[in-house]
Structure 1
Amino acid sequence: MFHFLTFGAPGLVVFLVFVLIPIALTVRTSFTNQNPANPPTKWVGLRNYTRLFGDADFTGALKNTVILTVIVTVVANVLGLAIAQMLDRRGRLYNALRSVFFTPVVLSSVVVSVIWEAILSDDGLLDSALHSLGIAHPPGWLSDPNLALYSVAFIITWQVLGFCVVVYLAGLAGVSPEMLEAAEMDGAGRLARFRHVTWPMLAPAVTINTIMLLITGFKAYDQIQVITNGGPGNGTTATIAFQVVQTTFTGNHIGYGAAMATAMLAIIAVLSVAALRVLQRREVTL
Protein backbone atom coordinates (compact mmCIF):
# COMPACT_ATOMS: atom_id res chain seq x y z
CA MET A 1 0.00 0.00 0.00
CA PHE A 2 2.84 2.35 0.87
CA HIS A 3 4.55 1.69 -2.46
CA PHE A 4 1.29 2.38 -4.30
CA LEU A 5 0.81 5.69 -2.49
CA THR A 6 4.41 6.63 -3.19
CA PHE A 7 4.60 5.73 -6.88
CA GLY A 8 1.06 5.22 -8.14
CA ALA A 9 -0.95 7.92 -6.40
CA PRO A 10 0.59 10.93 -8.25
CA GLY A 11 -0.16 9.38 -11.65
CA LEU A 12 -3.65 8.40 -10.53
CA VAL A 13 -4.34 11.93 -9.31
CA VAL A 14 -3.18 13.41 -12.63
CA PHE A 15 -5.33 10.91 -14.56
CA LEU A 16 -8.31 11.68 -12.33
CA VAL A 17 -7.98 15.47 -12.57
CA PHE A 18 -7.13 15.77 -16.27
CA VAL A 19 -9.04 12.82 -17.76
CA LEU A 20 -11.81 11.29 -15.67
CA ILE A 21 -13.24 14.43 -14.09
CA PRO A 22 -13.36 16.39 -17.41
CA ILE A 23 -15.09 13.42 -19.08
CA ALA A 24 -17.62 13.21 -16.23
CA LEU A 25 -18.31 16.96 -16.42
CA THR A 26 -18.71 16.78 -20.21
CA VAL A 27 -21.20 13.91 -19.94
CA ARG A 28 -23.14 15.82 -17.26
CA THR A 29 -23.20 18.98 -19.39
CA SER A 30 -24.46 16.98 -22.39
CA PHE A 31 -27.79 16.51 -20.58
CA THR A 32 -28.35 20.27 -20.31
CA ASN A 33 -29.10 23.15 -22.67
CA GLN A 34 -26.17 25.20 -21.37
CA ASN A 35 -25.65 28.32 -23.47
CA PRO A 36 -24.01 31.45 -21.99
CA ALA A 37 -25.95 33.61 -24.47
CA ASN A 38 -29.29 32.10 -23.49
CA PRO A 39 -29.55 31.42 -19.74
CA PRO A 40 -30.72 29.78 -17.55
CA THR A 41 -29.25 26.31 -17.91
CA LYS A 42 -31.86 23.55 -17.70
CA TRP A 43 -31.76 19.75 -17.60
CA VAL A 44 -33.02 18.43 -20.97
CA GLY A 45 -32.31 14.71 -20.58
CA LEU A 46 -31.62 12.89 -23.86
CA ARG A 47 -32.87 15.71 -26.10
CA ASN A 48 -29.36 16.62 -27.29
CA TYR A 49 -28.64 12.99 -28.21
CA THR A 50 -31.91 12.44 -30.06
CA ARG A 51 -31.17 15.62 -32.00
CA LEU A 52 -27.70 14.48 -33.08
CA PHE A 53 -28.53 12.01 -35.84
CA GLY A 54 -31.11 14.32 -37.36
CA ASP A 55 -28.51 17.07 -37.57
CA ALA A 56 -27.09 17.28 -41.09
CA ASP A 57 -23.93 19.01 -39.82
CA PHE A 58 -23.18 16.20 -37.37
CA THR A 59 -23.98 13.34 -39.75
CA GLY A 60 -21.92 15.02 -42.47
CA ALA A 61 -19.02 15.42 -40.04
CA LEU A 62 -19.39 11.77 -39.00
CA LYS A 63 -19.23 10.67 -42.65
CA ASN A 64 -16.14 12.82 -43.28
CA THR A 65 -14.48 11.46 -40.15
CA VAL A 66 -15.11 7.84 -41.13
CA ILE A 67 -13.73 8.40 -44.66
CA LEU A 68 -10.66 10.21 -43.34
CA THR A 69 -10.03 7.57 -40.65
CA VAL A 70 -10.28 4.67 -43.11
CA ILE A 71 -7.84 6.34 -45.52
CA VAL A 72 -5.32 7.21 -42.79
CA THR A 73 -5.51 3.78 -41.14
CA VAL A 74 -5.17 1.74 -44.33
CA VAL A 75 -2.65 3.87 -46.23
CA ALA A 76 -0.37 4.59 -43.27
CA ASN A 77 -0.31 0.90 -42.31
CA VAL A 78 0.48 -0.29 -45.83
CA LEU A 79 3.11 2.37 -46.59
CA GLY A 80 4.57 2.13 -43.10
CA LEU A 81 5.14 -1.61 -43.47
CA ALA A 82 6.58 -1.22 -46.98
CA ILE A 83 9.01 1.51 -45.90
CA ALA A 84 9.99 -0.42 -42.76
CA GLN A 85 10.85 -3.41 -44.94
CA MET A 86 13.12 -1.21 -47.05
CA LEU A 87 14.79 0.40 -44.01
CA ASP A 88 15.30 -2.85 -42.11
CA ARG A 89 19.02 -2.85 -42.86
CA ARG A 90 22.19 -1.73 -41.14
CA GLY A 91 24.20 1.30 -42.16
CA ARG A 92 24.45 5.04 -41.66
CA LEU A 93 22.29 5.76 -44.68
CA TYR A 94 19.41 3.69 -43.32
CA ASN A 95 19.77 5.24 -39.86
CA ALA A 96 19.58 8.68 -41.44
CA LEU A 97 16.53 7.72 -43.49
CA ARG A 98 14.78 6.45 -40.35
CA SER A 99 15.30 9.87 -38.77
CA VAL A 100 13.98 11.58 -41.89
CA PHE A 101 10.78 9.54 -41.90
CA PHE A 102 10.23 10.09 -38.16
CA THR A 103 10.76 13.87 -38.25
CA PRO A 104 7.13 14.77 -39.20
CA VAL A 105 5.87 12.87 -36.14
CA VAL A 106 7.59 15.26 -33.72
CA LEU A 107 6.46 18.39 -35.57
CA SER A 108 3.40 20.30 -34.40
CA SER A 109 0.25 19.54 -36.40
CA VAL A 110 -0.19 23.28 -36.88
CA VAL A 111 3.31 23.63 -38.35
CA VAL A 112 2.72 20.67 -40.67
CA SER A 113 -0.62 22.15 -41.73
CA VAL A 114 0.89 25.55 -42.54
CA ILE A 115 3.65 23.93 -44.60
CA TRP A 116 1.26 21.77 -46.61
CA GLU A 117 -1.20 24.62 -47.08
CA ALA A 118 1.60 26.61 -48.72
CA ILE A 119 2.33 23.62 -50.97
CA LEU A 120 -1.23 22.61 -51.93
CA SER A 121 -3.10 25.92 -51.99
CA ASP A 122 -4.15 27.46 -55.31
CA ASP A 123 -1.04 28.93 -56.94
CA GLY A 124 1.04 27.28 -54.20
CA LEU A 125 4.34 25.50 -54.65
CA LEU A 126 2.83 22.38 -56.23
CA ASP A 127 0.65 24.34 -58.66
CA SER A 128 3.64 26.50 -59.61
CA ALA A 129 5.65 23.37 -60.37
CA LEU A 130 2.79 21.95 -62.47
CA HIS A 131 2.47 25.27 -64.34
CA SER A 132 6.17 25.08 -65.20
CA LEU A 133 5.52 21.62 -66.67
CA GLY A 134 2.83 23.03 -68.95
CA ILE A 135 -0.26 22.06 -66.91
CA ALA A 136 -2.39 25.20 -67.14
CA HIS A 137 -5.21 24.14 -64.84
CA PRO A 138 -3.98 21.89 -62.03
CA PRO A 139 -6.51 20.41 -59.60
CA GLY A 140 -7.76 22.49 -56.68
CA TRP A 141 -6.18 20.31 -54.00
CA LEU A 142 -7.76 22.28 -51.18
CA SER A 143 -10.40 24.31 -53.01
CA ASP A 144 -12.15 21.48 -54.88
CA PRO A 145 -14.88 19.94 -52.65
CA ASN A 146 -14.21 16.57 -54.29
CA LEU A 147 -10.50 16.62 -53.40
CA ALA A 148 -10.15 18.64 -50.20
CA LEU A 149 -10.96 15.83 -47.74
CA TYR A 150 -8.55 13.45 -49.49
CA SER A 151 -5.82 16.12 -49.44
CA VAL A 152 -6.27 16.53 -45.68
CA ALA A 153 -6.20 12.73 -45.27
CA PHE A 154 -2.91 12.67 -47.23
CA ILE A 155 -1.41 15.33 -44.95
CA ILE A 156 -2.38 13.46 -41.78
CA THR A 157 -1.07 10.20 -43.28
CA TRP A 158 2.23 11.90 -44.13
CA GLN A 159 2.63 13.11 -40.56
CA VAL A 160 1.84 9.79 -38.82
CA LEU A 161 3.68 7.59 -41.33
CA GLY A 162 6.95 7.81 -39.41
CA PHE A 163 5.31 6.43 -36.28
CA CYS A 164 4.06 3.40 -38.21
CA VAL A 165 7.51 2.87 -39.71
CA VAL A 166 9.18 2.88 -36.28
CA VAL A 167 6.65 0.42 -34.84
CA TYR A 168 7.06 -1.93 -37.79
CA LEU A 169 10.85 -1.66 -37.59
CA ALA A 170 10.61 -2.71 -33.95
CA GLY A 171 8.43 -5.62 -35.01
CA LEU A 172 10.84 -6.65 -37.75
CA ALA A 173 13.70 -6.61 -35.24
CA GLY A 174 11.88 -9.34 -33.36
CA VAL A 175 11.59 -11.65 -36.36
CA SER A 176 13.88 -14.63 -35.88
CA PRO A 177 16.65 -14.77 -38.53
CA GLU A 178 16.91 -18.50 -37.90
CA MET A 179 13.27 -19.01 -38.88
CA LEU A 180 13.78 -17.00 -42.05
CA GLU A 181 16.89 -19.00 -42.93
CA ALA A 182 15.09 -22.27 -42.24
CA ALA A 183 12.20 -21.23 -44.46
CA GLU A 184 14.63 -20.23 -47.21
CA MET A 185 16.41 -23.59 -46.96
CA ASP A 186 13.02 -25.30 -47.31
CA GLY A 187 12.58 -23.51 -50.63
CA ALA A 188 10.28 -20.69 -49.53
CA GLY A 189 10.58 -17.60 -51.72
CA ARG A 190 10.63 -14.02 -50.47
CA LEU A 191 6.82 -13.66 -50.58
CA ALA A 192 6.29 -17.01 -48.86
CA ARG A 193 8.78 -16.10 -46.11
CA PHE A 194 6.98 -12.82 -45.52
CA ARG A 195 3.55 -14.45 -45.45
CA HIS A 196 4.37 -17.40 -43.21
CA VAL A 197 7.17 -16.04 -41.00
CA THR A 198 7.40 -12.24 -40.98
CA TRP A 199 3.70 -11.34 -41.16
CA PRO A 200 2.60 -13.46 -38.16
CA MET A 201 5.44 -12.00 -36.06
CA LEU A 202 4.26 -8.48 -36.92
CA ALA A 203 0.77 -9.03 -35.48
CA PRO A 204 1.40 -6.95 -32.31
CA ALA A 205 2.81 -4.09 -34.42
CA VAL A 206 -0.29 -4.17 -36.65
CA THR A 207 -2.48 -3.96 -33.54
CA ILE A 208 -0.61 -0.96 -32.12
CA ASN A 209 -0.60 0.97 -35.39
CA THR A 210 -4.23 0.27 -36.21
CA ILE A 211 -5.54 1.40 -32.82
CA MET A 212 -3.38 4.54 -32.80
CA LEU A 213 -4.41 5.45 -36.35
CA LEU A 214 -8.10 4.93 -35.57
CA ILE A 215 -7.85 7.35 -32.68
CA THR A 216 -5.77 9.83 -34.72
CA GLY A 217 -8.31 9.88 -37.55
CA PHE A 218 -11.33 10.34 -35.30
CA LYS A 219 -9.83 13.19 -33.31
CA ALA A 220 -8.47 15.09 -36.34
CA TYR A 221 -8.96 18.81 -35.76
CA ASP A 222 -5.80 20.91 -36.15
CA GLN A 223 -5.34 20.17 -39.85
CA ILE A 224 -9.00 20.94 -40.61
CA GLN A 225 -8.96 24.20 -38.68
CA VAL A 226 -5.71 25.50 -40.17
CA ILE A 227 -5.99 24.29 -43.76
CA THR A 228 -9.67 24.33 -44.76
CA ASN A 229 -11.66 25.65 -41.77
CA GLY A 230 -14.21 22.94 -42.56
CA GLY A 231 -14.57 23.97 -46.20
CA PRO A 232 -14.53 24.44 -49.07
CA GLY A 233 -18.26 24.93 -49.15
CA ASN A 234 -20.46 23.93 -46.26
CA GLY A 235 -18.71 21.37 -44.07
CA THR A 236 -16.91 19.58 -46.90
CA THR A 237 -13.99 18.59 -44.66
CA ALA A 238 -15.55 19.16 -41.22
CA THR A 239 -14.84 16.31 -38.81
CA ILE A 240 -16.64 15.52 -35.56
CA ALA A 241 -13.87 17.16 -33.52
CA PHE A 242 -14.08 20.29 -35.68
CA GLN A 243 -17.87 20.34 -35.36
CA VAL A 244 -17.62 20.00 -31.57
CA VAL A 245 -15.38 23.06 -31.32
CA GLN A 246 -17.55 25.09 -33.71
CA THR A 247 -20.75 24.20 -31.88
CA THR A 248 -19.34 24.71 -28.39
CA PHE A 249 -17.14 27.78 -28.70
CA THR A 250 -18.35 29.55 -31.85
CA GLY A 251 -22.05 28.81 -31.47
CA ASN A 252 -22.04 28.83 -27.64
CA HIS A 253 -24.22 25.69 -27.59
CA ILE A 254 -22.17 24.10 -24.83
CA GLY A 255 -24.70 21.43 -23.88
CA TYR A 256 -25.18 20.28 -27.46
CA GLY A 257 -21.43 20.42 -28.13
CA ALA A 258 -20.85 18.28 -25.03
CA ALA A 259 -23.31 15.72 -26.43
CA MET A 260 -21.32 15.66 -29.69
CA ALA A 261 -18.08 15.19 -27.77
CA THR A 262 -19.58 12.39 -25.69
CA ALA A 263 -20.89 10.66 -28.82
CA MET A 264 -17.44 10.95 -30.40
CA LEU A 265 -15.83 9.46 -27.28
CA ALA A 266 -18.32 6.58 -27.31
CA ILE A 267 -17.71 5.88 -31.02
CA ILE A 268 -13.92 5.90 -30.56
CA ALA A 269 -14.17 3.65 -27.51
CA VAL A 270 -16.43 1.11 -29.24
CA LEU A 271 -14.34 1.00 -32.42
CA SER A 272 -11.05 0.79 -30.49
CA VAL A 273 -12.27 -2.04 -28.24
CA ALA A 274 -13.75 -3.94 -31.19
CA ALA A 275 -10.60 -3.52 -33.28
CA LEU A 276 -8.40 -4.47 -30.32
CA ARG A 277 -10.33 -7.69 -29.70
CA VAL A 278 -10.29 -8.68 -33.37
CA LEU A 279 -6.58 -7.94 -33.76
CA GLN A 280 -5.59 -9.62 -30.50
CA ARG A 281 -7.60 -12.71 -31.51
CA ARG A 282 -5.65 -12.62 -34.78
CA GLU A 283 -2.38 -12.50 -32.83
CA VAL A 284 -3.33 -15.67 -30.96
CA THR A 285 -4.47 -17.39 -34.16
CA LEU A 286 -1.25 -16.56 -36.00
Structure 2
Amino acid sequence: MFLDKRAAARTAAVPLQRLTYLLSFVAPGVLVYACFVLAPILLSFGYSLTDASLFATRTRFVGPDNYLRLLADPSFLTSLKVTTILTLIIVIVPNVAGVGVAVLLDRAGWLYRALRSVFFVPVVLSSVVVSVVWMAMLQDEGLINRLLGIRVGWLSDPDLALYSIGFIISWQMLGFCSVVYLAALQGVPQSLHEAAAIDGAGSWTRFRKVTWPLLAPALTTNTVMLLITGFKAYDHIQVLTAGGPGLGTTATVAFNVIQVGFTANRTGESSAMAILMLVIVATVSAVALRLLNRREVDL
Protein backbone atom coordinates (compact mmCIF):
# COMPACT_ATOMS: atom_id res chain seq x y z
CA MET A 1 0.00 0.00 0.00
CA PHE A 2 2.79 2.37 0.98
CA LEU A 3 4.72 1.57 -2.20
CA ASP A 4 1.64 2.21 -4.30
CA LYS A 5 1.26 5.66 -2.77
CA ARG A 6 4.91 6.52 -3.45
CA ALA A 7 4.60 5.34 -7.05
CA ALA A 8 1.44 7.41 -7.50
CA ALA A 9 3.19 10.46 -6.05
CA ARG A 10 6.15 10.05 -8.42
CA THR A 11 3.76 9.64 -11.35
CA ALA A 12 1.90 12.81 -10.41
CA ALA A 13 5.18 14.73 -10.05
CA VAL A 14 6.38 13.89 -13.58
CA PRO A 15 4.04 16.32 -15.44
CA LEU A 16 4.97 19.07 -12.97
CA GLN A 17 8.68 18.46 -13.54
CA ARG A 18 8.20 18.47 -17.31
CA LEU A 19 6.29 21.74 -17.08
CA THR A 20 9.08 23.23 -14.92
CA TYR A 21 11.76 22.16 -17.41
CA LEU A 22 9.69 23.47 -20.31
CA LEU A 23 9.23 26.87 -18.70
CA SER A 24 12.90 27.03 -17.71
CA PHE A 25 14.14 26.48 -21.26
CA VAL A 26 11.34 27.96 -23.37
CA ALA A 27 10.22 30.97 -21.33
CA PRO A 28 13.43 33.06 -21.77
CA GLY A 29 13.37 32.58 -25.54
CA VAL A 30 9.67 33.34 -25.78
CA LEU A 31 10.13 36.44 -23.62
CA VAL A 32 12.99 37.76 -25.77
CA TYR A 33 11.02 37.04 -28.95
CA ALA A 34 7.94 38.77 -27.58
CA CYS A 35 9.89 41.85 -26.46
CA PHE A 36 12.07 42.35 -29.53
CA VAL A 37 9.88 40.97 -32.35
CA LEU A 38 6.19 40.76 -31.49
CA ALA A 39 5.99 43.97 -29.44
CA PRO A 40 7.63 46.19 -32.11
CA ILE A 41 5.37 44.71 -34.81
CA LEU A 42 2.26 45.38 -32.73
CA LEU A 43 3.43 48.90 -31.91
CA SER A 44 4.16 49.62 -35.57
CA PHE A 45 0.74 48.37 -36.56
CA GLY A 46 -0.84 50.61 -33.92
CA TYR A 47 1.13 53.64 -35.14
CA SER A 48 0.18 52.85 -38.75
CA LEU A 49 -3.46 53.52 -37.89
CA THR A 50 -2.68 57.03 -36.64
CA ASP A 51 -1.13 60.28 -37.88
CA ALA A 52 1.67 59.94 -35.33
CA SER A 53 4.76 62.10 -35.71
CA LEU A 54 7.97 62.35 -33.74
CA PHE A 55 7.24 65.93 -32.69
CA ALA A 56 3.44 65.85 -32.61
CA THR A 57 1.88 66.61 -29.25
CA ARG A 58 -1.40 64.92 -30.18
CA THR A 59 -2.03 61.77 -32.22
CA ARG A 60 -5.24 61.18 -34.15
CA PHE A 61 -6.67 57.83 -35.21
CA VAL A 62 -6.98 57.71 -39.02
CA GLY A 63 -7.75 54.02 -39.60
CA PRO A 64 -6.57 52.59 -42.94
CA ASP A 65 -5.93 56.03 -44.51
CA ASN A 66 -2.14 55.59 -44.40
CA TYR A 67 -2.37 52.26 -46.24
CA LEU A 68 -4.74 53.64 -48.88
CA ARG A 69 -2.50 56.66 -49.41
CA LEU A 70 0.57 54.47 -49.85
CA LEU A 71 -1.10 52.17 -52.38
CA ALA A 72 -1.88 55.25 -54.50
CA ASP A 73 1.49 56.95 -53.93
CA PRO A 74 3.76 56.81 -57.04
CA SER A 75 6.92 57.11 -54.93
CA PHE A 76 5.97 54.08 -52.84
CA LEU A 77 5.10 52.06 -55.93
CA THR A 78 8.44 53.08 -57.46
CA SER A 79 10.30 51.99 -54.33
CA LEU A 80 8.45 48.68 -54.46
CA LYS A 81 9.59 48.21 -58.07
CA VAL A 82 13.18 49.10 -57.13
CA THR A 83 13.06 46.64 -54.22
CA THR A 84 11.75 43.88 -56.50
CA ILE A 85 14.49 44.39 -59.11
CA LEU A 86 17.21 44.55 -56.46
CA THR A 87 15.90 41.42 -54.74
CA LEU A 88 15.84 39.47 -58.00
CA ILE A 89 19.48 40.39 -58.63
CA ILE A 90 20.49 39.43 -55.10
CA VAL A 91 18.65 36.10 -55.28
CA ILE A 92 19.89 35.03 -58.71
CA VAL A 93 23.52 36.18 -58.87
CA PRO A 94 24.90 34.75 -55.57
CA ASN A 95 22.96 31.51 -56.06
CA VAL A 96 24.38 30.91 -59.53
CA ALA A 97 27.89 32.09 -58.71
CA GLY A 98 27.82 30.31 -55.35
CA VAL A 99 27.27 26.93 -56.99
CA GLY A 100 30.22 27.52 -59.32
CA VAL A 101 32.53 28.65 -56.51
CA ALA A 102 31.49 25.71 -54.32
CA VAL A 103 32.22 23.23 -57.11
CA LEU A 104 35.66 24.78 -57.65
CA LEU A 105 36.49 24.72 -53.92
CA ASP A 106 35.21 21.21 -53.31
CA ARG A 107 38.74 19.80 -53.22
CA ALA A 108 41.23 18.77 -50.57
CA GLY A 109 44.35 20.75 -49.77
CA TRP A 110 45.47 23.77 -47.78
CA LEU A 111 45.08 26.12 -50.76
CA TYR A 112 41.37 25.36 -51.14
CA ARG A 113 40.82 25.67 -47.39
CA ALA A 114 42.48 29.09 -47.51
CA LEU A 115 40.36 30.14 -50.50
CA ARG A 116 37.19 29.16 -48.62
CA SER A 117 38.15 31.57 -45.85
CA VAL A 118 38.93 34.30 -48.38
CA PHE A 119 35.54 33.97 -50.05
CA PHE A 120 33.75 34.06 -46.68
CA VAL A 121 35.50 37.21 -45.39
CA PRO A 122 33.07 39.70 -47.05
CA VAL A 123 30.14 38.04 -45.27
CA VAL A 124 31.45 38.99 -41.83
CA LEU A 125 32.39 42.54 -42.84
CA SER A 126 30.11 45.43 -42.03
CA SER A 127 27.83 46.56 -44.85
CA VAL A 128 29.10 50.09 -44.35
CA VAL A 129 32.74 49.00 -44.72
CA VAL A 130 31.95 47.06 -47.90
CA SER A 131 30.01 50.02 -49.30
CA VAL A 132 32.79 52.53 -48.59
CA VAL A 133 35.42 50.32 -50.24
CA TRP A 134 33.31 49.70 -53.35
CA MET A 135 32.29 53.37 -53.56
CA ALA A 136 35.96 54.32 -53.79
CA MET A 137 36.52 51.67 -56.48
CA LEU A 138 33.47 52.64 -58.54
CA GLN A 139 34.07 56.38 -58.68
CA ASP A 140 34.64 58.03 -62.06
CA GLU A 141 38.39 58.01 -61.43
CA GLY A 142 38.28 54.84 -59.37
CA LEU A 143 40.13 51.57 -59.74
CA ILE A 144 37.46 49.82 -61.84
CA ASN A 145 37.34 52.49 -64.53
CA ARG A 146 41.12 52.73 -64.66
CA LEU A 147 41.50 48.97 -65.07
CA LEU A 148 38.86 48.88 -67.80
CA GLY A 149 40.15 52.04 -69.47
CA ILE A 150 36.69 53.62 -69.53
CA ARG A 151 34.79 56.35 -67.72
CA VAL A 152 31.45 55.05 -66.49
CA GLY A 153 29.35 56.47 -63.66
CA TRP A 154 28.60 53.20 -61.95
CA LEU A 155 26.90 54.96 -59.04
CA SER A 156 26.07 58.30 -60.64
CA ASP A 157 24.26 56.99 -63.73
CA PRO A 158 20.53 56.37 -62.96
CA ASP A 159 20.53 53.45 -65.41
CA LEU A 160 23.47 51.68 -63.70
CA ALA A 161 23.32 52.62 -60.02
CA LEU A 162 20.73 50.03 -58.97
CA TYR A 163 22.54 47.22 -60.78
CA SER A 164 25.84 48.30 -59.23
CA ILE A 165 24.32 48.10 -55.75
CA GLY A 166 22.85 44.70 -56.62
CA PHE A 167 26.31 43.50 -57.69
CA ILE A 168 27.94 44.77 -54.48
CA ILE A 169 25.39 43.06 -52.20
CA SER A 170 25.62 39.89 -54.32
CA TRP A 171 29.43 39.97 -53.98
CA GLN A 172 29.13 40.25 -50.21
CA MET A 173 26.63 37.35 -50.01
CA LEU A 174 28.59 35.11 -52.39
CA GLY A 175 30.68 33.63 -49.57
CA PHE A 176 27.60 32.64 -47.58
CA CYS A 177 26.01 30.88 -50.54
CA SER A 178 29.28 29.16 -51.43
CA VAL A 179 29.73 27.76 -47.91
CA VAL A 180 26.17 26.41 -47.83
CA TYR A 181 26.53 24.79 -51.24
CA LEU A 182 29.97 23.45 -50.33
CA ALA A 183 28.57 21.78 -47.21
CA ALA A 184 25.83 20.20 -49.34
CA LEU A 185 28.37 19.03 -51.95
CA GLN A 186 30.46 17.31 -49.31
CA GLY A 187 27.36 15.43 -48.20
CA VAL A 188 26.78 13.91 -51.65
CA PRO A 189 27.76 10.20 -51.55
CA GLN A 190 30.75 9.51 -53.79
CA SER A 191 29.24 6.14 -54.68
CA LEU A 192 26.50 7.88 -56.67
CA HIS A 193 29.07 9.66 -58.84
CA GLU A 194 30.98 6.44 -59.33
CA ALA A 195 27.83 4.59 -60.35
CA ALA A 196 26.90 7.34 -62.81
CA ALA A 197 30.42 7.34 -64.26
CA ILE A 198 30.25 3.58 -64.74
CA ASP A 199 26.99 4.08 -66.64
CA GLY A 200 28.83 6.42 -68.99
CA ALA A 201 27.63 9.77 -67.64
CA GLY A 202 29.96 12.71 -68.24
CA SER A 203 30.89 15.35 -65.64
CA TRP A 204 28.09 17.74 -66.69
CA THR A 205 25.50 14.93 -66.73
CA ARG A 206 26.64 13.74 -63.29
CA PHE A 207 26.30 17.26 -61.93
CA ARG A 208 22.87 17.80 -63.48
CA LYS A 209 21.41 14.37 -62.65
CA VAL A 210 23.16 13.52 -59.38
CA THR A 211 24.66 16.57 -57.68
CA TRP A 212 22.14 19.30 -58.44
CA PRO A 213 19.05 17.43 -57.11
CA LEU A 214 20.89 16.76 -53.84
CA LEU A 215 21.63 20.49 -53.49
CA ALA A 216 17.91 21.26 -53.14
CA PRO A 217 18.04 21.90 -49.33
CA ALA A 218 20.99 24.27 -49.82
CA LEU A 219 19.09 26.09 -52.58
CA THR A 220 16.13 26.54 -50.23
CA THR A 221 18.30 27.96 -47.46
CA ASN A 222 20.16 30.37 -49.73
CA THR A 223 17.06 31.57 -51.58
CA VAL A 224 15.13 32.43 -48.42
CA MET A 225 18.14 34.19 -46.87
CA LEU A 226 18.78 36.17 -50.05
CA LEU A 227 15.11 37.13 -50.35
CA ILE A 228 15.19 38.62 -46.86
CA THR A 229 18.52 40.34 -47.58
CA GLY A 230 17.15 41.94 -50.74
CA PHE A 231 13.91 43.16 -49.23
CA LYS A 232 15.59 44.75 -46.20
CA ALA A 233 18.46 46.38 -48.12
CA TYR A 234 19.22 49.78 -46.58
CA ASP A 235 22.84 50.21 -45.42
CA HIS A 236 24.44 49.85 -48.84
CA ILE A 237 21.97 52.25 -50.44
CA GLN A 238 22.39 54.89 -47.75
CA VAL A 239 26.18 54.87 -48.08
CA LEU A 240 26.50 54.43 -51.85
CA THR A 241 23.74 56.58 -53.36
CA ALA A 242 21.44 57.88 -50.58
CA GLY A 243 18.48 56.83 -52.71
CA GLY A 244 19.72 58.56 -55.86
CA PRO A 245 20.93 59.46 -58.37
CA GLY A 246 17.84 61.19 -59.55
CA LEU A 247 14.49 60.88 -57.84
CA GLY A 248 14.40 57.58 -55.97
CA THR A 249 16.16 55.48 -58.60
CA THR A 250 17.73 53.31 -55.88
CA ALA A 251 15.35 54.05 -53.00
CA THR A 252 14.01 50.75 -51.67
CA VAL A 253 11.01 50.38 -49.37
CA ALA A 254 13.33 49.88 -46.38
CA PHE A 255 15.20 53.07 -47.31
CA ASN A 256 11.93 55.02 -47.58
CA VAL A 257 10.74 53.70 -44.22
CA ILE A 258 13.70 55.39 -42.54
CA GLN A 259 13.43 58.55 -44.62
CA VAL A 260 9.70 59.03 -44.09
CA GLY A 261 9.80 58.08 -40.42
CA PHE A 262 12.90 59.93 -39.21
CA THR A 263 13.61 62.61 -41.83
CA ALA A 264 10.05 63.63 -42.78
CA ASN A 265 8.77 62.82 -39.24
CA ARG A 266 5.68 60.97 -40.52
CA THR A 267 5.75 58.04 -38.11
CA GLY A 268 2.25 56.80 -38.94
CA GLU A 269 2.92 56.61 -42.68
CA SER A 270 6.35 55.08 -42.10
CA SER A 271 4.84 52.41 -39.86
CA ALA A 272 2.21 51.58 -42.48
CA MET A 273 4.99 51.21 -45.05
CA ALA A 274 6.88 48.87 -42.72
CA ILE A 275 3.80 46.73 -42.07
CA LEU A 276 3.08 46.45 -45.80
CA MET A 277 6.66 45.41 -46.36
CA LEU A 278 6.41 42.84 -43.57
CA VAL A 279 3.33 41.31 -45.21
CA ILE A 280 5.03 41.22 -48.63
CA VAL A 281 8.25 39.66 -47.28
CA ALA A 282 6.36 37.08 -45.22
CA THR A 283 4.15 36.15 -48.17
CA VAL A 284 6.98 35.88 -50.71
CA SER A 285 9.20 33.95 -48.30
CA ALA A 286 6.40 31.54 -47.40
CA VAL A 287 5.54 30.90 -51.07
CA ALA A 288 9.22 30.42 -52.00
CA LEU A 289 9.78 28.11 -49.03
CA ARG A 290 6.73 26.03 -49.91
CA LEU A 291 7.69 25.70 -53.58
CA LEU A 292 11.30 24.83 -52.80
CA ASN A 293 10.33 22.34 -50.10
CA ARG A 294 7.93 20.70 -52.54
CA ARG A 295 10.80 20.46 -55.03
CA GLU A 296 12.92 18.72 -52.38
CA VAL A 297 10.14 16.15 -51.79
CA ASP A 298 9.64 15.57 -55.53
CA LEU A 299 13.35 14.96 -55.99
Coarse TM-score class (shorter-chain normalised): over 0.9
Q: 2:123: which partner in 1? A: 105
Pair 1:125-2:138 in alignment = no
Instruction: Report the Cα distance in structure 1 between the residues aligned to 2:22 and 2:262, rounded to whole angstroms.
Output: 40
For residues 1-286 of structure 1, the aligned pairs below 5 Å read 1-130=19-148, 133=149, 135=150, 138-286=151-299
Q: 2:5: which partner in 1? A: none
Give, in angstroms, the shift of residue 39 of structure 1: 4.2
Instruction: Report the Cα distance in structure 1 between the residues aligned to 2:74 and 2:111, rounded to whole angstroms.
Output: 51
Q: Deviations over 1:174-227 (max 9, x none)?
A: 111001100110111111111111111100000000000000000000000011
Q: Deviations over 1:93-152 (max 9, x none)?
A: 00000000000000000110111111112222223334xx4x3xx110000000000000
Task: Report the AA paired with residue 18 of structure 1.
Answer: F
SS in 1 for 2:93: helix
Instruction: Report the Cα distance in structure 1 between the residues aligned to 2:45 and 2:139, rounded to whole angstroms.
Output: 39
What is the aligned-residue RMSD (CA, Å)?
Answer: 1.0
Instruction: Report the Cα distance in structure 2 between the residues aligned to 1:39 and 1:147, rounded to whole angstroms.
Output: 43
Task: Report the AA paired with residue 203 of structure 1.
Answer: A
Instruction: Report the Cα distance in structure 2 between the residues aligned to 1:277 and 1:43, rounded to whole angstroms.
Output: 37
SS in 1 for 2:256: helix
- In the TM superposition, structure 1's runs of 4+ consecutive aligned residues that sit over 6 Å from their partners are none
Q: TM-score, normalised by structure 1?
A: 0.96
Instruction: Report the Cα distance in structure 1 between the residues aligned to 2:167 and 2:296, rounded to whole angstroms.
Output: 29
Give percent identity, aligned residues only.
59
Give, in angstroms, the shift of residue 38 of structure 1: 4.3
SS in 2 for 1:45: coil
Q: Which has the larger radius of gyration?
A: 2
Q: Gapped runs of 5+ residues in structure 1?
A: none
Q: Deviations over 1:1-58 (max 9, x none)?
A: 1112222211111111111101110111111110234442111111011111211111
Instruction: Report the Cα distance in structure 1 between the residues aligned to 2:144 and 2:222, rounded to whole angstroms.
Output: 30
Instruction: Report the Cα distance in structure 2 between the residues aligned to 1:5 and 1:124, rounded to whole angstroms.
Output: 57
Q: TM-score, normalised by structure 2?
A: 0.92
Q: Gapped runs of 5+ residues in structure 2?
A: 1-18
SS in 2 for 1:237: coil
